[in-house]
């Protein structure tokens, strides 16, 4: 667990730097998830053919593709509620992009808070693990 903690506090922030501005294809998001899955397999010495989702769930770690979505939604929410007119205008211009991200999780964007965004994405992940 301490190795995972080090990876989550040192490596993930570096890897995810600026992800709020990324526009990644599904292929690139999948590659991020594969890298994160391989980290889990190496840390916990898992079989390379097995899924790591239950292990990620037990360790309270989201797949990186979901973490990117979460960070993008939180940034959009922060710019939308900013006192800065330029940031608010930018959030209006990017609204369609963020509505598309929210629609993946079957939620609207109008009454969102940071905690609701985190809960929504975690619940979506938990449903995929428990199926």
pLDDT at position 110 is 65
Instruction: Give DSSP secondary structure letters for 2-43.
Output: HHHHHIIIIIHHHHTTTGGG----HHHHHHHHHHHHHHHHHH
pLDDT band of residue 58 (cuts 50, 70, 90) is very high
* Tens of pLDDT, residues 106-129: 766 666 788 988 998 999 999 989
The arithmetic mean of pLDDT across residues 70-79, rounded, is 89
pLDDT at position 103 is 79
Q: Are 73 and 98 in contact, with CB atoms under 8 Å apart?
A: yes
Work out the mean pLDDT of the chain and round it to a whole number: 87
pLDDT band of residue 22 (cuts 50, 70, 90) is confident
Domain boundaries, the chain: 2-130
Q: Are 79 and 91 in contact, with CB atoms under 8 Å apart?
A: yes
Residue 55 φ/ψ region, left for φ over 0, alpha for ψ in the -120 to 50 degree band, beta for the rest: alpha
pLDDT at position 108 is 67
Predicted TM-score (pTM) of this structure: 0.85
Q: Does the pLDDT at position 95 exceed 80?
A: no
The arithmetic mean of pLDDT across residues 78-99, rounded, is 83
């Amino acid at each position: 667990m301490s190795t995972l903690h080090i990876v989550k506090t040192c490596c993930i922030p570096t890897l995810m730097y600026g992800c709020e501005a990324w526009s990644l294809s599904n292929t690139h998001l999948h590659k991020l998830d594969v890298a994160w899955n391989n980290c889990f397999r190496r840390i916990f010495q898992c079989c390379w053919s097995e899924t790591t989702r239950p292990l990620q769930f037990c360790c309270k770690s989201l797949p990186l593709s979901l973490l990117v979505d979460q960070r993008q939604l939180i940034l959009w929410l922060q710019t939308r509620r900013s006192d800065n007119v330029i940031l608010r205008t930018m959030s209006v211009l990017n609204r369609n992009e963020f509505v598309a991200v929210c629609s993946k999780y079957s939620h609207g964007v109008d009454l969102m808070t940071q905690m609701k965004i985190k809960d929504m994405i975690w619940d979506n992940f938990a449903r995929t693990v428990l199926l």
